[in-house]
Structure 1
Amino acid sequence: MGLSMATAGMWVERWERQQQLYALDREERFAVIADATEHLCVDRDRPLLLDLGCGPGSLSARLARRLPDAEIVAVDMDPVLLELGRTQHADAARYVDAVIGEEGWTDALQLDRNVDVAVTTTALHYLPANVLIRTYTALAALLRPGGALVNGDHFPPDGSPCSELTAHVGLRRAERTGAHGPADEDWGAWWQAAAGDPELADLFQERAKRYSSCVDGNQHLSVGRHTQLLRGAGFAHVTTVWQVGDSCVLVAQKD
C-alpha cells in the first residue's frame, strides 16, 4: 500500500515548519535561488534543472511554480523524504534515488541533455570534503556551457574573527524575526514522530539500512575554500549573490 496524500501532506507541512529553525530567512533564500535560476535560464525554452539533496521536494516545488516550463530532476538518498516528495509534489519533478558523490550517481539521473542549472539548499554540507570535490567536478561535467550551480547554505567566511561576526549577526537576525523562538517541533522531534507513523514504517526500515554509519561533512569549509574547489572543478565564475549572517546563496558558473 502506497503512502496516502493526506499523510504525505501532513508530514511535509511539519517538515517545512521545523526547517525554518535552521535556514535563516528560508523563504527569501528560496526566492533568491529561484531568481538566480530564472536569470540563468532566460534564453532557454525548456530548461533542465537538477535539484541536489532534494529532500521532500521543497525547492523543486517552488522552482516548478516559478519556471513552469522547466524539467526538474530531483535526487536524494533518503527513502522517507523521497517518498514524501513523490507523493506531495509529484508534478514538480522526476525523483531519483541515488547517493550524491558515489560512483555512478550521475548515470542514475538518466539525463538526455546537459543541465542548465543545478540547485541545492542545505544539503551538500553533509558530504565529506573529498566527496564534495568529486561532486563539484561531476556537476561541472553535467552542466552546459554557461550553466551554473546555485547553492544555498551556511558558508563561514575565512578567518575566525569574521566567522564569529557573521554567526553573531545571523543569530541576532533570527532573534529579531523569531525564527529561533519556541517551536512545537525541531529536526530531531520531526524524525522521531515520523518514525512512529505506520504508513512510513517500511521506508524507515530501509532508511536505517542506508544510514548505518555517519561521516563528517564539510561544514568547516569557508566560502573562500568552496570558491577554490569550484574553480578547480571547472567553474570560472564564483560569487555570493545573497547573504544574511553566514547563510548565503553561492553561484558558480561555467564559461
Structure 2
Amino acid sequence: MTDLQIADDTAERAYWEGWQRSWDRQQGWYLPDREERFRVMIDLVEAVGGPAPRILDLACGTASITERLLARLPQAASVGVDLDPALLQIAEGHFRGDQRLTLVTADLRDPDWAAALPEGPFDAVLTATALHWLDTDTLLRLYRDLTGLLRPGGVFLNADHCPQPGTPLLNAVHKTFEERRQLAESADGVLTWAQWWQAAAADPRLAEAVAARSAVYRDHKDGDTHTAEWNIERLVDAGFREAGLAWRSVSDAMFVAVR
C-alpha cells in the first residue's frame, strides 16, 4: 500500500469514526446513562454466551451496541438489522472490513422480517431505545418472533423508555433535572436529534441516504409506551421461560427474557 493509499484509508476511517462518535454524543444527550446500560447488557451476554457469543443487534442503527460488544468480547459475532439507510451507511463505513458484523436491511413491522437474516440461532438479541416506536400489536408479534431466533437458554435484552406512572413527583423532578443538563450540554455543542439529522442531510456523502430515509419513514407514527412490568409479563406470554428487570433508571429500564 502506498503512502497515498494509507493516507486515504486513514481519512476514510476518520470520517466514519467522526459520524459514529457524533451519533453517540447526540444519543448521550438524551441518555446520560447510555454506557452504563450497555455495560450491564454485555455483562449478561457474556454470562450467557461466554467469550464468543453470536448476537442479533436489533434495530441496530449505527451498531453502537455491537461496537461495545466487540470491544469487550473480540471473538463475538453480530448480525445488525435496521431499516434506516443513513444509519446503516454509517455502520457499514465504520465497520468496513470487520467480518464479525453482518448488516441486514429489514423492517421489523413486516411479519416476514426475519427471513432476511442469516441462519440462527443466536445466543442473544439486543436492542436499545428502538422498540418503543412500534405499536403494541407489532411489538407482541415481534416478541413471539424472537423466541424462534434464540437458542434454548439464550436471552433477549431491551433497554428502552419505561415510565413509572406511580411516581409522578419523582418523574417531574427528574424531568426538570434532565432539561437543565441538556441545556448545559447544548451550550457545549452537543446536537439534538433534529440538529443531527440536519447536519447529516448537509453532508454530500450522506445526503442521498438521508433523503431515502424520509421516504422509508413517510408513514411513521409514534408507537406505544409501556411499563417494564407490562413488557416482562408479555414476554413470558410470548413463550420465554422467564423474564425480569436487569437495570432501571427513573425514566428507562432494561428487561431480560430467557428463552
- What is the TM-score with the length of structure 2 in the denominator? 0.87
- Determine which structure has the larger helix proportion and give its number: 2
The one-character-per-residue Cα deviations of 1:197-222 (angstroms, maximum 9, x if unpaired) are 11112212321221111223122x11
Contact 1:241/1:251, CA 8 A, preserved across alignment: yes
Gaps of 5+ in 1: none
**SS of aligned partner of 2:29:** coil
Q: 1:46 to 1:14 in 2, by over 3 A?
A: closer
- Aligned residue number for residue 167 of structure 1: 171
- Aligned residue number for residue 142 of structure 1: 149
Q: Tell me how far apart the structure 2 counterparts of residues 180 and 40 of structure 1 sit (CA, whole Å).
A: 40
- Aligned residue number for residue 96 of structure 1: 104
- Aligned residue number for residue 237 of structure 1: 242
Of the three residues 193, 203, 213, the one matched with 1:197 is: 203
**SS of aligned partner of 2:244:** strand
Kindly provide the amino acid, as one letter, of the partner of residue 141 in structure 2: R
Moved over 6 A (4+): none
Contact 2:29/2:185, CA 8 A, preserved across alignment: no
Contact 2:228/2:253, CA 8 A, preserved across alignment: no
Q: Tell me how far apart the structure 2 counterparts of residues 188 and 216 of structure 1 sit (CA, whole Å).
A: 16
Contact 1:119/1:150, CA 8 A, preserved across alignment: yes
Of the three residues 56, 61, 77, the one matched with 2:62 is: 56
- What is the TM-score with the length of structure 1 in the denominator? 0.88
Q: Is 2:162 the counterpart of 1:155?
A: yes
- Aligned residue number for residue 110 of structure 1: 118
**SS of aligned partner of 2:256:** strand
**SS of aligned partner of 2:141:** helix
Larger Rg: 2
Q: 1:142 to 1:191 in 2, by over 3 A?
A: same
Q: CA deviation at 1:172?
A: 6.6
Q: CA deviation at 1:59?
A: 0.8
Q: Tell me how far apart the structure 1 counterparts of residues 246 and 46 of structure 2 sit (CA, whole Å).
A: 14
Q: CA deviation at 1:165?
A: 4.6
- Aligned residue number for residue 130 of structure 2: 123
Gaps of 5+ in 2: 1-10
**SS of aligned partner of 1:17:** helix
Kindly provide the amino acid, as one letter, of the partner of residue 161 in structure 1: G
